[in-house]
Structure 1
């Protein structure tokens, strides 16, 4: 198939003025002459994710440009290669260190040919500008001259010239003179902090343009000065900030760098807000949360099913009182997830309507009770956003979702995702001995758990204290008080408790034996009964269970209970474990807590073995066996 390239378009792009919107947003048919990765590591500092330099030809001339990072996948998947014919649908043109930088923002692949079309030659920027009339530029515009030219200085009190700003994804610590034009998509509260060096204030904002987003932080007097000046949703020119490596511990923004707003930073509001996104999302469904690691961040969009009143809790770590509110979210995946708001977010939350669609950006994934979500300082929440996902979710809920039933992750028995805190991974199965050796190498100072996937058989279950009486609202332990049960956390009296499992059991495989600890979902799977049903068997009747302490009855026959324990043994399961070092009675040890338990599905296990035999390892094994001589 033959293609007609847009002759002369390279010359137009090279000499375009910033206000030629039709050129930047038009469709241009060009050919890729070469692609080169330019991401690298310099002096131990990681630059942003890999970037690709692309050379584009119109059949007569060719120009160099950069691919926006969202197009990297085309190169990685080898859809975009040398001699590919493309339709460039959107591009931007900026000035970086006195040079013109063309960035390809969107393109569409038309086809592939075997050779170069025409005999294109390189465009010399200075020659082309010297030989053609200089385009008229707005007043105070920086003018690109030949190699001996200079840049006209801009007054500090005026905004940067139109179009002469730097893309966010191109910022790095090695550039000093830059200006970004970006929208504030998130602004934190003005926080107070205290360290050994004294007290101070800080706040952070997230800036976003069409190429990416970056977090900026201001401290003390600068924070007090800039805080009332920056507003969410507005667009600003930002310059003279210091670009540093991002502290990932405090940020969930997808950028390797962040901006420090110091006293010489300049920020001025921009009223030309075209082509700047309000906010970018990368949504996951509530059903997919089980595939995400604990403490990771994600974007979700869901229907607000219900919400609680504001409650006060006392933090064990800081002994400070905090306010919280819990939202119950549902979506098309059929799952229900609890999301927690804190502080002012909890107090000020008010739904726009009954069961609104709510979009969350950068919420934290927790594993309390299966899977949960929590707002953090950098998270954002938008009710009924005007985006396609919101309209689709609204239509589903109004038509059929309002009457649907939903399940929570702690009761889900489906497949699990990758290991590392997200779920059981068959490809990373480790025998108990190997797992124990790796766990023993956990440093004593390490606070985070290490996750393992393993398969083992339950050999023995400790029958003493197999469950505890819990409050049906908060799951905290309740105590018997004169025939009733008292929950100190909820400050209420219950007619009877709801028992929850707290198990300790020994497992074994061909390499050894270990003790695991598990909670309610583990007991439900192992016994196939609720903890209430098991304790009723243990104490010999429902009346004793309600009217007396389950473990105070002395005249009970535990034959049926012991038989139940026996039947629960000698069964194999797939486990996701979190191994963590702790200290008990001055003894340092490794505790293995069960995060997920999955009964064996023998069809899935057989399919996994068949898939394994199709791998190079499996084929090599089959060949080795076929070469063996049988006597």
Structure 2
């Protein structure tokens, strides 16, 4: 196995709390990993991002360090292991409880597999004699140790933490903040600033604002109340970099924040905010984009980052909230390369100020996933939207759309999933016989109930198998034929021809009984293997061929994810069973599930 040269003495130099030279901070030392340990969350039960404590070695000594959360995947994907060799490209050093803590921000893997180099030992903490300034008495040089006397002089105060290049205290990374630290300074970019919000209740009135701060290691939310709002709101500008200190670190209230940090900051009267002129090495917004087609895999109220082209924009409208407040609202239709379109709702000033020129690219950080119309997106108060951002993903999307995407047809999330059943998933372990669905009276209350079923299609009603829908992405409203074509009252547009969408009931049966299940567009495309436009074209051209298409679909078994919900129509109340997702049987998966079930049952012992 190849031999590797580690940077000798780097651990002792990094651990020296009395001094750390600039050339060390700008170096790229080669080290070896000795161990990794996941740090257990210390919050009130809220989900937090995993963090890893690591031990590094230079062959002579070892030193404790932390891995920045953006590098977690290196451990989780086993790209680095025990005894791996790496070059630390970027790091910071911070003083925690009188010990130097190394934060690794970026690294290059030299060798994934290696043998342990040397026999590294722990660094010895400096003793009192090491850090006390003493002056030997005359003649002490020739005297024995027992006769040595010292005359203490005034010792310079030890710095509480590392001093920066301009005498500024050391900059702590955001991910190292905790309620157990008092004196700290962070250098962070304000990536989002909210409007000033007011409240009034039995305990009084007040106002607040919050900001999202970001550095290389992560994000954190900060909030200012009442008098602090007057002092800091105008001073803190979105997009700029500041030094922040003397704020209180609290446990994050996850109910009011979507930021992945177990702590948050509270600005106080003595909080110091100073603009940073040198804003290098402070990132702008960091995204983790998902394709619009994958929104189907997310649960309701999930948070995600998306990027898309604004294909449609609705006019600004006003709605009255349940609390009686007037809210400004605007809806955008976003599309991307996955071939899907989704509706994004903007509120307040963001809705008022949005200008859609030439179908821009928008990138949204921390959008909320809703279930209106199957899948939809909306903005939190802490969500961030950039129009035509200068990032590679935006440039690639712009080029694709201008070249081909503008002529493409997109799949809109249909209304089949509207309501509580939008995020129903099929679960083999929870399959219910159709008769039991009825005897349990699922859906009989005001709330929709989800269930999984496996049944065979016995009959399909084809009298009105599809309806003429609006061609606007995300609309799907029924259109009526008039003198000027097929008109959509919602969009106030007319079309030469409609875009047909499936809607039909079908009788399905299993060993226990039969039930009528309602299918919509996605279900029809799976069932018939063609779009509703194609099916209607066949029906209008040849009744016999259309009948054959329907007959081929009958007699096939499927797995169903459904919701049951009580509905009232013409003064008659009944429970409707709606198919959220329909999947052909995969016999390999079914067999594997049964085999696993047999192994778990351990029948051999019975």
Do they superpose with TM above 0.5? yes
**1:234 maps to what in 2?**
240
For residue 231 of structure 2, give the secondary structure of its aligned residue in structure 1: helix
Select which of 274, 277, 284 maps to 2:290: 284
**1:408 maps to what in 2?**
411
Select which of 341, 349, 354 maps to 2:346: 341
Q: Distance in 1 between matches of 2:204 and 2:503?
A: 44
- 8 Å contact 1:295–1:365 — kept in the other structure? yes
Q: Distance in 2 between matches of 1:388 and 1:237?
A: 29
**1:327 maps to what in 2?**
332
For residue 576 of structure 1, give the secondary structure of its aligned residue in structure 2: strand
- 8 Å contact 2:316–2:352 — kept in the other structure? no
Are 1:360 and 2:382 counterparts?
no
**1:219 maps to what in 2?**
225
**1:595 maps to what in 2?**
580
List alignment gaps of at least 5 residues for structure 1. 134-147, 542-560
- 8 Å contact 2:32–2:57 — kept in the other structure? yes
How much does 1:93 deviate? 0.6
- 8 Å contact 1:293–1:420 — kept in the other structure? no
Q: Distance in 2 between matches of 1:122 and 1:152?
A: 23
For residue 11 of structure 1, give the secondary structure of its aligned residue in structure 2: helix
For residue 89 of structure 1, give the secondary structure of its aligned residue in structure 2: strand
**1:544 maps to what in 2?**
none
**2:3 maps to what in 1?**
2
For residue 375 of structure 1, give the secondary structure of its aligned residue in structure 2: strand
Instruction: Calculate the TM-score normalised by the size of structure 2.
Output: 0.75
Q: Distance in 2 between matches of 1:589 and 1:25?
A: 71
- 8 Å contact 2:320–2:327 — kept in the other structure? yes
Instruction: Write out per-residue CA displacement over residues 237-274 of structure 1, whole angstroms, 9 at most, x where no aligned residue.
Output: 23333333333333221223322334444333233322
Any residues of structure 2 matched to 1:115-514 within 5 Å, and which?
A: 115-126=115-126, 130=130, 162=168, 164-304=170-310, 306-315=311-320, 317-318=322-323, 320-351=325-356, 354-398=358-402, 400-402=403-405, 404-410=407-413, 424-425=425-426, 430-432=431-433, 436=437, 452-458=451-457, 507-511=508-512
- 8 Å contact 1:310–1:323 — kept in the other structure? no
Are 1:606 and 2:591 counterparts?
no
**2:139 maps to what in 1?**
none
- 8 Å contact 2:18–2:158 — kept in the other structure? no
Indicate the RMSD between aligned Cα atoms, in angstroms.
5.2
How much does 1:214 deviate? 1.3
Instruction: Write out per-residue CA displacement over residues 175-232 of structure 1, whole angstroms, 9 at most, x where no aligned residue.
Output: 4444322111111222234445454433221111111101222333333432212111
List alignment gaps of at least 5 residues for structure 2. 134-155, 541-545
- 8 Å contact 1:523–1:531 — kept in the other structure? no
User: Cα gap change, 1:108/1:365 in structure 2, threshold over 3 Å: closer, same or farther?
Assistant: same
**1:34 maps to what in 2?**
35
User: Cα gap change, 1:15/1:313 in structure 2, threshold over 3 Å: closer, same or farther?
Assistant: same
Q: Distance in 2 between matches of 1:468 and 1:10?
A: 72
User: Cα gap change, 1:442/1:392 in structure 2, threshold over 3 Å: closer, same or farther?
Assistant: same
Q: Distance in 1 between matches of 2:178 and 2:440?
A: 39
How much does 1:21 deviate? 5.2
- 8 Å contact 2:363–2:387 — kept in the other structure? yes
User: Cα gap change, 1:228/1:620 in structure 2, threshold over 3 Å: closer, same or farther?
Assistant: closer
Q: Distance in 1 between matches of 2:291 and 2:498?
A: 34
Q: Distance in 2 between matches of 1:166 and 1:320?
A: 42
For residue 30 of structure 1, give the secondary structure of its aligned residue in structure 2: strand
How much does 1:58 deviate? 0.9
For residue 377 of structure 1, give the secondary structure of its aligned residue in structure 2: strand
How much does 1:466 deviate? 8.7
**2:142 maps to what in 1?**
none
